[in-house]
Structure 1
Amino acid sequence: MQRENAFSIRSYIQYLEENFPNELLSVDDETSTEYETTAYYLALKHKNPVILFKKLRGFPDFSLITNIFGSENRLANIAGFKDTEEFIKRWDSVMNDSTKNTLSISESSPFSRVLVGEDADLTKLPIPTHYALDGSNSGIGRYITGGLSATSEEVPGEAFNLSFARIQAIGRNSFAFDAGSHGHFWAKLNSAIELNLKVDFDIIIGANPIYYILAASFIDNEYYKASSIFNMKFVKGVLNDIPIPEDAEIVLEAQFLPKVKFNEGPFAEYTGYMGYDSTQFVGKVKSILMRKNPIYYDIQPSNASEHINLFSLPRSSSVLNSMKRVMPGRYGYRIVWPHYGSRFLALGYTEDKTPGFSIQLGLSILGLDPLWNKIVFINNGITPLTLEASLGNLASSIKEGYFRYFRVSKAIIISSDPSRDQSGTSGKIVFVSKGLPTHRVTKNQNETVINTEMGKALISHGAKKDYDLVIVVPNSVDPLNLDEVGWAIATMVNPERDIVIKSSRVVIKARNPQEEIPAIPSEILKKIKNVYHSSS
C-alpha cells in the first residue's frame, strides 16, 4: 500500500487534476440527466476518461461524476497499488487478512443539508436515466447506480456490510431495488420478509471509492476491512444506527418494507443486454443527508468498462491466486478477462511445456469461476492476449493439426448468460493452440480476415470455405469491430450448440439472443457527439 489515507471523491478529482489531467474530462456545458450523461460516456468510450459534469440542468447545486473505475489502472491505484498487475497479485491476500481495526466514529456531521420526512424527496437528486428501456415495466427510468447499501448486523457494532443494488426511484420518498447477488444484503432482506421485519439500511452515493471495490469483492465487514487498509473515519447517522463514511457525498437513510413489491426493471446489465430478473424489493426514504454542493456519483451501466472492472478485477485476483496455490508447473502463465467478454471469455498463454498443462490450466479457469467462465483460449507460448491473436493462433493450430480442445455439456452458468439453454445450463469449452505471436489482420467491407503463416480465420456474417476457423456473427454485430465480435462470442455462443468442430475446420456461430440491447435515443447521442467534437 502506498498511501495512508483513502481517496474521497473530492480528493480523487484533485489528484487527477494535479497528476493525470488527461484522465479527467470536465464538462462545463449544461447537461441533462436524461440520457445525456450516458451519451457523453458512449461518445468518449475510446478515450475512457473520468467525466465530471459541472452544470446539471434542473440541479444547480450538484455536479455529477462517472467512469471513475473505467480504467483498470485507476481502480488499482485507488486500492493503493501502483498498477493492475500488483492489484491482481496482492488484492486477494488483502481480502483474506483477518485484522479487525476499531472504527473511528465522530459525533460531528459533514452534511450541510438534512432532509427528513416529506422533505426527503428523491426528485431533488440528479438521478439519471441511462437507457431508453430502463424501468420500462413501469415507465420510470431513473436509476441510482452508484449507491452502496449499508446494513448493520444483529449485534450492534460487530459488523457492517456493503452491497450493490440497482435502485429505481419510483416516488418522492420510495424506491424499488434488485438485490439479486445472493450476498449478505439479499439474505438479510429475505429473512426480514419471513419474519415481517422492517430493516433499516443506508444507501451511500459517492462514498470513498475504495468502498466500491470492497463491496464488489464479496467479503464480510467492509467498514472494518477498509479501516485495516487506510485511515478511515465515520460519523453517526441521523435516523439509522449505521455509521456513515465521513467523506460520503449523499446518504439516503432508508427502511425496507417487507410486504411491498414493485415490478422493477428491466435495466441495462453487465452482459450488454437488458436484465429482467429482479427481487422487486421496495424501500422508503427516511432522510437524505448531503454535503454542500454534493457530487453525485453514477456508475455507467450495461457492459461499460467501469461496470465490468468493478465486479471482474477483484474476482480475477481471487481466481488467479487460487490457481497459483493449486496448479503445478514451474513456468509462467497469464490469463486476462477482456472487458467486452463480460467475464464469459478468458484469453491466456503458458510457457510451461509439461504435457497436458495447457488444457489443465483452461479447466482450472472453468472450475474456479464456474458461474461465468464459458469459453477459454489458451496458447502454448507467449502471445498477445487479444482476440485477433487468439483466433489467429487457433486457426494456425487447426491447419497444423495441433489443435486441442475440451468441451463439456449442461454445465452450470449464471442466469444472466443470454446464450444458456432452456434448462438454464450451457456448454463450456477450452481451446488450446500453439500459434506464433505474428498475424496480419485485413478488414474488408463486411468481414475481417486474420492471416498467420499457417492458417486463416474469417469473421463474417456468413460461413465460407477455405478458412480454418470461421466466426459467424449476426447482422447486428459489425465483423470489423473486434470488441463487438468478442462480445458476440462471449454472450451469443453456447459451446455445446454453436461450435462445430471437424478435424480441419472449426465454425463458431453467434446467435442473436432474445434479450434487448440497451440504447439511447439516436438524436441525443448525435447531439452529444457534435458538442464534444466541436469543443475538442
Structure 2
Amino acid sequence: MAKDLHTFLGSVKEKPIYFETVKREVDPLSFETAAILKHLQQQKRNPIVFFEKVKAVNRGPSIFPLVDNLFATRELCALALELPPEKAGLALSLEFSKRENDKIEPVLVEKGKAPVKEVIIKENDVDLTKFPAGRFHEMDVGPYFTMTDIMRGEGGFYDVSFVKHLILDKKFMTVSLHYTIRKHLLYILEANEEKNRPTPIVVVLGHHPAFFLGAGALKELGNNDYETIGAFLGEPLRLTPSETWGEDFLVPADAEIVIEGEVIPHKREIQNPFGEYSGYYQPQCLMPVMEVKVITHRKNAIMQQVFPASSGHFNLGSIPKEGSIYNEIKKVAPEVTGVYLPHSGSGRISCYVSVKKRREGDAKQAGLMPFLLSGQIKYVVVVDDDVDIYNEQEVLWALITRLDLSRGVDLIKNMPRYDRVLIDATRPLDRPFPAKNTVPREVMERIRLSDYLS
C-alpha cells in the first residue's frame, strides 16, 4: 500500500501523546482551531489534532475534516521518516540530510487508480469557500491555505515549495511569492511572465508528512523535487495526469486534495497582514493571483494545514537545514558535534553549534559557516560539547558563564539582508577556567529511580 496521510494517521492515532480528536464543531475563520492549538502549545502538549467537524469559509459545514500539528514535535517528524522517536535529535537532522541527496524515480498511475481522482470538480462547481480555511492570528486579513505548491520549470522539472494562499473568492486566491525571499517558484513564474503566458500551478492540501518534509529539502533550482520526495517517502512517489494539462503536468496520485490552476501573468492583488513565523505580522503587499480550474480529492479526504508561528512551522524551517549545515561545517571544522536551529529563533533566525574544542579559533571557524549556508540565520552561538544544544537552558547557562565579551562576540557587517552576530560561548583553553560540576557518571548509570522510589 502506498504511503499517504491516512496510513500515517492510522499508525499514530492510538497513542494519545501523538494524537487528539476534537469532535465538537469548530470555526477556523473565527480563530477557534488556532485557539485550541495555542492552548495545547501553552500546555507543552503538541499532538496531531484532528478536527472532525469544521465550518467552511462560506459559513456552512465543510465536507472535509481538518488536521494540523503533524510536524509539531521532532519525534513526529522522526516517525514520518520511520525513525524511532529517540532519534529525534541530531540523528534526525543527519537522516534528513542523507535523504535530500538521494533520489527515487516516481511512477505513473492511471487516473482510474489514483485516489485523488475519486471526486473531480470543474468549471462552475469550483468553490474555494467550501473549504475549512481559517485565520490564525487576530489581524490576519482573511482565510489562508498554508501547505505546498507545485510548478514545472523549463526542462520539465517539478518544484515543490510551501506557499500560503489568501482566498479571494470562489475561484481566485493569491500566491505568496515574495521578491525578497526568492523562492524557486518565483523564478518559474517570472520566466513565464516575461513571455506573457500563464503559469500552471498545483496546490496540495494533504499527503503523508514525509511528502512535505521532502518538499522542505534544500535543493537547487532545477532539481526534480518529485524524485527527492520519493527518497523521503522511502518509495516511489505515485503520480497521475492532471485534469487541466494531462500528462504535461503530473500530480501526486495519493494526495488528499489537489487544486489545479493558473497564475495570471502580471496580475496582482493585496494580501496580508498575516501572522508569520517570526511572531510578527507580515505587512500588506501585492501578490500574484491564481485562477482555479479544477479541484480533485479523495472521497474521504482530509484537509491539512500548518499553524503559522507554531512548533510545527518552526520544525519545518529548522530540520531541513540542520543536517546540511552540520555536514558542511564538518568539512572545514571536524570538531563540530551538533547543530540546532531553536524554536526561540523561529527555527530559522538563530543557530546553536556544539564543538569538541581543541584550540582557540575552532569555535569561530565552525560558527561562521551557518551564515554562508542560510540567508536567514542572524545569530550563531557556539558552545562546548558538554552542553546539550537542544536544552536552551544549558545554552543560556554556557553563554552567561563562559562568554568573554571582550573577544567572544563578533559583529559581521555588510552581509545580505542584515548584519550577523557570532557568539563564542566555549570555555577558554589559553587560561585557567573552572571545571563543570558533575555527578559521577558511573553512579548515575548504576542508580535507577525505580529501585528507590515507588
TM-score interval (norm. to shorter):
0.7 to 0.9
How far does residue 42 in structure 1 lie from its aligned partner after superposition?
A: 0.2
The residue aligned with 2:393 is: 388
The residue aligned with 2:22 is: 27
Question: Which residues in structure 2 correspond to 1:387-536 (within 5 Å)?
Answer: 387-397=392-402, 404-412=407-415, 414=417, 425-434=418-427
What do the CA deviations read for 1:131-189 (whole angstroms, capped 9, x no partner)? Answer: 22112xxxxx100002x21122344xx42221221100001100012123423311011
CA RMSD of aligned residues (A): 2.4
How far does residue 431 in structure 1 lie from its aligned partner after superposition?
A: 2.9
Sort the Cα spacing of 1:426 and 1:337 in 2 relative to 1 into closer, same or farther, 3 A: same
The residue aligned with 2:195 is: 195
How far does residue 381 in structure 1 lie from its aligned partner after superposition?
A: 4.8
Sort the Cα spacing of 1:393 and 1:276 in 2 relative to 1 into closer, same or farther, 3 A: same
Unaligned runs of at least 5 residues, structure 1: 136-140, 415-424, 440-536
* Equivalent residue in structure 2 for 1:365, among 370, 384, 387: 370
Sort the Cα spacing of 1:402 and 1:161 in 2 relative to 1 into closer, same or farther, 3 A: closer
* Equivalent residue in structure 2 for 1:280, among 284, 287, 310: 287
Structure 1 Cα separation of the partners of residues 23 and 138 of structure 2 = 25
How far does residue 429 in structure 1 lie from its aligned partner after superposition?
A: 2.6
What do the CA deviations read for 1:497-531 (whole angstroms, capped 9, x no partner)? Answer: xxxxxxxxxxxxxxxxxxxxxxxxxxxxxxxxxxx
The residue aligned with 1:225 is: 228
8 Å contact kept, 1:403–1:433: no
Question: Which residues in structure 2 correspond to 1:42-121 (within 5 Å)?
Answer: 42-45=38-41, 46-57=44-55, 58-82=60-84, 83-84=87-88, 85-97=90-102, 99=103, 101-108=105-112, 109-110=114-115, 111-121=117-127
User: If the length of structure 1 is used for normalisation, what is the TM-score?
Assistant: 0.71
Sort the Cα spacing of 1:227 and 1:364 in 2 relative to 1 into closer, same or farther, 3 A: closer
Structure 1 Cα separation of the partners of residues 6 and 394 of structure 2 = 41
Structure 2 Cα separation of the partners of residues 290 and 357 of structure 1 = 53
SS in 2 for 1:178: coil
SS in 1 for 2:363: helix
How far does residue 103 in structure 1 lie from its aligned partner after superposition?
A: 2.4
8 Å contact kept, 2:326–2:338: no
Structure 2 Cα separation of the partners of residues 198 and 382 of structure 1 = 55
8 Å contact kept, 1:122–1:169: yes
Check if 1:333 corresponds to 2:337.
yes
How far does residue 232 in structure 1 lie from its aligned partner after superposition?
A: 2.7
SS in 1 for 2:270: coil
The runs of at least 4 consecutive aligned structure 1 residues that moved more than 4 Å come to 435-439
How far does residue 92 in structure 1 lie from its aligned partner after superposition?
A: 1.9
Structure 2 Cα separation of the partners of residues 104 and 86 of structure 1 = 33
Number of residues of Structure 1 aligned to a counterpart in Structure 2: 409
What do the CA deviations read for 1:90-145 (whole angstroms, capped 9, x no partner)? Answer: 32232223x4525223231423322211211101111112122112xxxxx10000
Sort the Cα spacing of 1:62 and 1:328 in 2 relative to 1 into closer, same or farther, 3 A: closer
* Equivalent residue in structure 1 for 2:253, among 225, 235, 246: 246
Partner amino acid, structure 2, of 1:12: F
8 Å contact kept, 1:201–1:240: no
Partner amino acid, structure 2, of 1:38: A
8 Å contact kept, 1:52–1:64: yes
Q: Mean Cα displacement is larger for which, 372-381 or 67-76? A: 372-381
What do the CA deviations read for 1:174-216 (whole angstroms, capped 9, x no partner)? Answer: 0012123423311011122221101211111102322211221
Sort the Cα spacing of 1:208 and 1:394 in 2 relative to 1 into closer, same or farther, 3 A: closer
How far does residue 17 in structure 1 lie from its aligned partner after superposition?
A: 1.9
The residue aligned with 1:527 is: none
Partner amino acid, structure 2, of 1:54: E
Structure 1 Cα separation of the partners of residues 405 and 264 of structure 2 = 60
Structure 2 Cα separation of the partners of residues 328 and 236 of structure 1 = 47
Sort the Cα spacing of 1:410 and 1:9 in 2 relative to 1 into closer, same or farther, 3 A: same
Sort the Cα spacing of 1:334 and 1:436 in 2 relative to 1 into closer, same or farther, 3 A: farther
How far does residue 257 in structure 1 lie from its aligned partner after superposition?
A: 0.3
8 Å contact kept, 2:101–2:228: no
Structure 2 Cα separation of the partners of residues 153 and 51 of structure 1 = 35
Structure 2 Cα separation of the partners of residues 218 and 348 of structure 1 = 19
How far does residue 273 in structure 1 lie from its aligned partner after superposition?
A: 0.7
Partner amino acid, structure 2, of 1:93: K
Partner amino acid, structure 1, of 2:111: E
Sort the Cα spacing of 1:372 and 1:6 in 2 relative to 1 into closer, same or farther, 3 A: farther
The residue aligned with 1:144 is: 145
How far does residue 33 in structure 1 lie from its aligned partner after superposition?
A: 1.4
Structure 2 Cα separation of the partners of residues 436 and 394 of structure 1 = 16
The residue aligned with 1:297 is: 304
How far does residue 333 in structure 1 lie from its aligned partner after superposition?
A: 2.3
The residue aligned with 1:179 is: 177
8 Å contact kept, 2:205–2:303: yes
SS in 1 for 2:20: strand
Sort the Cα spacing of 1:344 and 1:251 in 2 relative to 1 into closer, same or farther, 3 A: same
Structure 2 Cα separation of the partners of residues 22 and 407 of structure 1 = 42
The residue aligned with 1:353 is: 358
Unaligned runs of at least 5 residues, structure 2: 428-433, 439-454
The residue aligned with 1:484 is: none
Q: Mean Cα displacement is larger for which, 306-315 or 57-66? A: 57-66
How far does residue 391 in structure 1 lie from its aligned partner after superposition?
A: 2.9
The residue aligned with 2:5 is: 9
8 Å contact kept, 1:120–1:288: yes
SS in 2 for 1:287: strand
What do the CA deviations read for 1:476-499 (whole angstroms, capped 9, x no partner)? Answer: xxxxxxxxxxxxxxxxxxxxxxxx
Sort the Cα spacing of 1:77 and 1:172 in 2 relative to 1 into closer, same or farther, 3 A: same
8 Å contact kept, 1:164–1:179: no
What do the CA deviations read for 1:294-344 (whole angstroms, capped 9, x no partner)? Answer: 21101111x211111112111111111111122244xx5223221121222
Structure 2 Cα separation of the partners of residues 291 and 346 of structure 1 = 40
User: If the length of structure 2 is used for normalisation, what is the TM-score?
Assistant: 0.83
Structure 1 Cα separation of the partners of residues 261 and 121 of structure 2 = 12
Identity %: 23
Check if 1:318 corresponds to 2:321.
no
How far does residue 230 in structure 1 lie from its aligned partner after superposition?
A: 1.2
8 Å contact kept, 1:379–1:393: yes
